[in-house]
Every structure is written in structure tokens, then in C-alpha cells.
Amino acid sequence: MSATLARSAAGLGMASERTRLRMVARLREQGITDEVVLAAMAQVPRHLFVEEALASRAYEDTALPIGFAQTISQPWVVARSCELARAGRMLDLVLEIGGGCGYQAAVLARLAREVYTIERIGALAARARQTLAAAGIGNVKVRNADGRDASSNVVQFDAIVVAAASATIPPNLPSLLADGGRLVIPLGGAEHQRLTRLTRHGEQFERETFDDVVFVPLKSGQE
């Protein structure tokens, strides 16, 4: 890189840091209180996860297209889902369903020891892998599969975050929670959903509903 290019890249980095801090201030005003989530969002370079043409809009509180008729979730939705999933605790293993561009996985990676994210569209999964590597995030594993089919006899998760809307909780998922673990999912119809949290207490599951949200649908199969 030439000296001029290096200087302008550094300048961009500083400008995006300032915009990111403004985004975090806005999240606070919008009611996000978990300082660990806010600190994570202050650090993850969201502009790397959107297409270059949209990078200048990366820190607006809006969903943006990422191709294949999918979107990067708006910052508030990411913050709120992470806050509900964390419930004030540090996380060991986390599963995300609907990895998209990898942004939320990058935020979760700062809240957990290890993150597994499943994305049904192969091209998005490949791009997420590249972007996460470029951002220097090493504790996220991206899989191309239908996340509703996720199953395991051995691994249990402290948190599962579903980033696509569903009418019902996919039946495989609750048993993947560790005792005390939390599943956060937007439940409802196509127009809007309610962020819902399922907390495992032994073989019992406590259900709570929170904010009105709009997500793209959870679909079956993989592409």
C-alpha cells in the first residue's frame, strides 16, 4: 500500500470509529442497557460487512441489502437480540441461525468463547467466512446448512440466536440449549414478529415476549 493510500485507509478507520460511537450512543437512547453488548458493537467494524457502495450507510439504524434478497439486520435489532441472549452473563458456546453477512456473529464473538453460525445460502456463508477473517475474528465457525435441522448429542449452547422469522420454534432447537441457556427468536407472521426468549430450566422452558420486530423469513432447505 502506498503512503497516501495507507493514510486514507487510516482516515477512513477513524471516521468509521466516530460513526460507530454515534451508533452506540443512539442504541443507548433506544434503550439498550447491556454495557458488554454496547462495547462489542463499538468495536465490530460494521462497514466491512456491507457492500462497498453501502459502506457510508453502515452505521445508520436500518437494515441494508446484502444480496440474495437478504438483509443485514439493523443495529438495534442485533443489540437487542444479543442483550436478551446474554441475560447479563458471559457466554461459552453460541449458535446463530441465519448468519447472513456475518455481522451479528462478529458481535456475538465478542460475547462468547465460540460462535457457530449456520447460513442456508452458500454464497453468503462463503462471503461471511471471508469478511470475518478480514476483520480478524477467529472464534466463529460458519456452516452452510438449514439451521432448523441443527442437532447434536454432545454440544449444548448457552445461547441460540435465530436471525430469521418463524411462526413457531423449530422443534430441534430447545434441546440444544444447556441448562439455563436462552433461545432468542422472532416469532410471528411475515409482516411482523415479537422477539421471544425461551429459557431452559432442566426439562422446563420459560417463555417471555419482548419487542415488535421485522425479520426476513426462516426458510427450509439450503442453496
The catalytic site residues sit at 73
Burial of 11 (0-12, 13-18, 19+ CB in 10 A): exposed
Interface with ligand SAH, residue 125, by CB under 6 A = no
Binder among 108, 164, 183, 185 for ligand SAH (CB under 6 A): 164
Distance between CA atoms of residues 27 and 68, nearest Å = 28
Query: Binding to ligand SAH by residue 118, rule CB under 6 A?
Result: yes
Q: Which is nearer to ligand SAH, 46 or 200 (CB)?
A: 46
Q: Which helix (H) or strand (E) holds 18?
A: helix 3-29
- Tell me which residues in 78-97 interact with ligand SAH (CB under 6 A): 97
Which C-beta is closer to ligand SAH: that of 73 or that of 199?
A: 73
Residues with Cβ < 8 Å from 71, sequence gap 6 or more? 63, 64, 65, 100, 216
Residue 52 CB, nearest approach to ligand SAH (Å): 17
DSSP structure string for 100-136? TTSHHHHHHHTTEEEEEEEESSHHHHHHHHHHHHHTT
Q: Which residues pair with 165 in a beta bridge?
A: 217
Smallest gap from Cβ 219 to ligand SAH, in A, equals 4
Q: Which stretch binds ligand SAH (CB under 6 A): 6-14, 53-61, 175-183, 211-219?
A: 211-219
Closest CA to 83 of 143, 22, 146, 28: 28
CB of 44 to ligand SAH, least distance (A): 10
What are the residues binding ligand SAH (CB under 6 A)? 70-73, 97-101, 103-104, 118-121, 124, 146-148, 163-164, 216, 218-219
